[in-house]
Structure 1
Amino acid sequence: MDGHVVHAFCDDALGSADAVALAKQVRSGQVSPAELASAAADRARKVDPLLGAVQVPLYDQPRYAPEDTGALYGVPTFVKDNTDLRGLPTNHGSEAYTARPARRDGAYATQFLSTGMTVLGKSRMPEFGFNASTEFQTGPPTRNPWHTGHSVGASSGGSAALVAAGVVPIAHANDGGGSIRIPAACAGLVGLKPTRGRHRDGEQASHLPINIVSEGVLTRSVRDTAAFVAAAEDHWRNPSLPPIGRVDGPSRRRLRIGLVLDTVTGAPVDQPTRDAVERVAALLEQAGHVVEPFTLPFTEQFAVDFIQYWRLLADLAVSTGKVMLDRSFDTAEIDGLTGGLRAQHRRSLHRTPGALLRLRRVVATYATMFARHELLLSPTSAHSTPGIGYLSPTAEFDELLDRLQNYAAYTPLHNIAGAPAVTVPARVDAGRPPIGVHFSAAHGDERTLLEIAYTVEACQPFPTIQEIR
């Protein structure tokens, strides 16, 4: 498909409003949840045949929250296809089995639903979230609404496409190696990966040797992300972490920010990405912050160990598929990426204990990075959003793995460390996908991340897709 822009923004009940504005309209009686759901369903029907972002539609029977519950009551949304919702299948993006409807809502789904949003279905993701592009072995890919010839990232790619295209203002996402932040960068969105344990864990997280998964959302405005975080915290707050509360704008604090451009793998950073990060750094200096070069205290060994852990997770997913997922699970139908990772793990089992030992030490090393700096600024990925096919699971495996390592070169660190990070738009131009920048902070300091995101948004407001010509 030749690349072109696809969006659903129009003069309906949703308009171009963000989630906070829509929730306010619902509370005032200006619009009803049913009217918003109907408008979002019409938008999805219009653009999803071109984007391929919806896994399970609920257009005719949306799941409404109990009346007047939650700060985002009545706002339409989608839930990612690795999270249990009562009555819907959870297929984890895999073509290797057909899941039966979940019997109950998952623990995180309950927290997500407590915000009052209306669920219009499930969004697509690549198999088990292992890829950095939402592409499949046989099915059509999920396309980037800014340029349909390009990837929209992964693994929360379906949610990113739906939010960027204007179908809904906010959608569920989660992040096990960059799966909130990379789609946010590809689609010109805000994507906050919270601290480990900030929210209730999803169904798979408790079974992981190292829990690398954080739950969250993708949005078009910083205030929507901040409102969601506060609403989720109203339902449940981890007492071992400092509360975030409601963050309403930039802080007046003068921050010291470390600028990270080099990758631990030595992967090259392309010039458009470097230029976008340096431009944001200059904006922050103009706003009164101190930005200075910073070198990560990690070597290429971290990347080697993370890949070994990635292989282990693929091996576990396939080996336990019939028990943990569904009796219909067929190992022969897994995609090329999952199969390649699993095969490599089987040949390198002896390396796994050492990799796990070193990865568990990352938390302590990560904490030292914030002795002098409140935040670090870096690219989200090492190069611009690739075209469809570049990260396809049908590609030759060794080449695909090399491409993934060189692309997703920054984000996995924060999953292993359990640390918070956020991606915000940095460059949004007509005719090509956006570029995002990435801020990371000490454990539990989402507040500072949201404040700096507000600062960037104030310095260069984030345009929506219909505003770019």
Structure 2
Amino acid sequence: MPRTVHAFTDDALAHHDATALAALIAKGEIHPREATDAALARLAAVEPQLNAMVLTDREASQARASEKTFTGFFAGVPSLIKDNIDMPGLPTRHGSAAVGGKPLKKTSVLARQYLAQGFNVIGKTRLPAFGFTASTELAHDGATHNPWHGDYSAGGSSGGSAALVAAGVVPIAHGNDGGGSIRIPAACCGLVGLKCTRGRLVTQEAGKALPVNIISDGVLTRSVRDTANFFSEAERYYRNRKLPAIGQVTGPGKGRLRIGMMIDSITGDPSCAQTRATVEATARQLAGLGHRVEEARIDLPQRFVDDFLLYWAMLAFSVSQFGRALFPQGFDRSQLDPLTLGLADYYKQRFLKTPGMIRQLKKSQQRYARTFNDYDVILSPVLAHTTPPLGYLGADVPFDTQLERLLRYTTFTPANNASGSPALSLPMGQTDQGLPIGVQFSGRHGDERTLLALGFELEQAQPLRQLYQQA
């Protein structure tokens, strides 16, 4: 396939972000049907190369756009939703051949909050089986390609959404994050990805049943303002009174921040040279903007990695043992992928550690919070090394090898999921192959405002490079 793939062209979508497109629709300069048809045409142009969609809801999305019934800030803006969220009339297969394809009648609580902003969802995007890995490579249905370089991973688990936003099919798409699954594909595909504070959006039905709810929903975007507007508008639908309000963030903050820089992970494993250079360059840029930057460590024990892995494995075990109850659309255990089965076996060998593991993960919020006695933001890599080629985390890689690679690669993101704290991924550099490198900004529990304001400031100082600008 070509090295880069994108669908940006001189149509109704042009180079607009979702905020600009919504404003044009509101003024009547673009009709929702025009925007939808442009998105569908772009999808048809790039999907054969990207393999990022599960299902295109073409006729229904065109009919909705023609009816002009959209309300909300993003009224009429075409978007996509990840294939682990229930939408009426569509199947939800969670990236797995083991889950049946029967269309569902219900709309999940998260989908209702998403649709309330006025999006016209034109289809569902790919994820690896149950979101258990950091590259969207399906054992039964091939890999999703990175639009910046087709030989490389688009990240995961929200890799399908990230690839299609980066490629210009839609300006904004849904993702969720249980261990980095918004931030990782944002880093791989050069996007903005905010993992919000636990409880910021409505809680998915599955999340309510977890002993530690590690899952946060959100969006992948090409601009900081799209992400800021999404969360501001989501708050109008549901406001968690236990958290400080985000409100409307429209630009940089006036105050200067105390920023702690952590380049190597809590395990002490060093980040790769290109990643390290990008984080250091970002630190120099922040210092030049007047922020105080110094080296820091997050207050989590080294055993955190083992605890989080065991929790992840417990989720895979639950899928393998209770899939019939979890997935009413149908479940065939014999079709489970090797990674899910390997994680389930990993848990079975260590299940006696479950009470201690859960206890330690619940303590992580307080431990993590102590870091912010001294700092407003923690600066770190999103990932320990640059985006790997497809196959590095492929479904056919032996379990032990894949697990070792996954733990090494994703060591920075899970702390925010266990602690429930927010973290923002921004594209701040590029690899020798022209792929984006993401940098992570972690904040206090409930303090998305500071992260978004900092994102605006960095975006103004260093405009985010778009795929259509790639030489």
User: Please, what TM-score do these two structures have when normalized by structure 1?
Assistant: 0.98
Give the corresponding residue for 2:450: 448
Q: Identify the match of residue 370 of structure 1 among 365, 368, 372.
A: 372
Q: 1-side partners of 2:438 and 2:466: how far apart?
A: 14
1:386-445 per-residue CA deviation (whole Å, 9 max, x = no partner) reads 000000121010010000000000000000000000000111468432000000001100
- SS of match in other structure, 2:442: strand
Q: How does 1:125-136 map to 2 (within 5 A)?
A: 125-136=127-138
Give the corresponding residue for 1:326: 328
Give the corresponding residue for 1:73: 75
Give the corresponding residue for 1:172: 174
Q: How does 1:320-359 map to 2 (within 5 A)?
A: 320-326=322-328, 328-359=330-361
Answer yes or no: is 1:289 the counterpart of 2:291.
yes
Give the corresponding residue for 2:47: 48
The code of the aligned residue for 2:58 comes to Y
Give the corresponding residue for 1:191: 193
Answer yes or no: is 1:94 the counterpart of 2:91.
no
Give the corresponding residue for 1:268: 270
How far did residue 329 of structure 1 move? 1.4
Q: 1-side partners of 2:286 and 2:268: how far apart?
A: 26
How far did residue 93 of structure 1 move? 0.6
Q: 2-side partners of 1:53 and 1:398: how far apart?
A: 27
Structure 1 residues 327 and 112: alpha-carbon distance in aligned structure 2, compared to 1, 3 A threshold: closer
Q: 2-side partners of 1:418 and 1:311: how far apart?
A: 19
Instruction: Find runs of 4+ consecutive structure 1 residues off by over 6 angstroms.
Output: none
Give the corresponding residue for 2:18: 19
1:135-168 per-residue CA deviation (whole Å, 9 max, x = no partner) reads 1112110110000100010000000000000000
The code of the aligned residue for 1:279 comes to A
How far did residue 267 of structure 1 move? 2.7
Q: Which runs of 5+ in 1 are unaligned?
A: none
Asked whether the equivalents of residues 175 and 215 of structure 1 are also in contact (C-alpha less than 8 Å), the reply is yes
Structure 1 residues 78 and 68: alpha-carbon distance in aligned structure 2, compared to 1, 3 A threshold: closer
1:248-295 per-residue CA deviation (whole Å, 9 max, x = no partner) reads 000011100000112122333100000011111111111110000001
Structure 1 residues 429 and 296: alpha-carbon distance in aligned structure 2, compared to 1, 3 A threshold: closer
Give the corresponding residue for 1:201: 203
Asked whether the equivalents of residues 428 and 463 of structure 1 are also in contact (C-alpha less than 8 Å), the reply is no
The code of the aligned residue for 2:421 comes to A
The code of the aligned residue for 2:438 comes to G
Give the corresponding residue for 1:426: 428
Q: 2-side partners of 1:203 and 1:136: how far apart?
A: 25
Aligned length: 468
Give the corresponding residue for 1:385: 387
Asked whether the equivalents of residues 77 and 170 of structure 1 are also in contact (C-alpha less than 8 Å), the reply is yes
Asked whether the equivalents of residues 376 and 440 of structure 1 are also in contact (C-alpha less than 8 Å), the reply is yes
Give the corresponding residue for 2:406: 404
How far did residue 372 of structure 1 move? 1.3
Q: Identify the match of residue 315 of structure 1 among 310, 314, 317.
A: 317
Give the corresponding residue for 1:141: 143
Q: 2-side partners of 1:228 and 1:296: how far apart?
A: 29
The code of the aligned residue for 1:37 comes to T
Q: Which runs of 5+ in 2 are unaligned?
A: none
How far did residue 230 of structure 1 move? 0.9
How far did residue 324 of structure 1 move? 1.2
Q: 1-side partners of 2:469 and 2:115: how far apart?
A: 31
The code of the aligned residue for 1:291 comes to V
* Percent identical: 46
Structure 1 residues 252 and 327: alpha-carbon distance in aligned structure 2, compared to 1, 3 A threshold: closer
Answer yes or no: is 1:9 the counterpart of 2:11.
no
- SS of match in other structure, 2:319: helix
How far did residue 455 of structure 1 move? 1.2
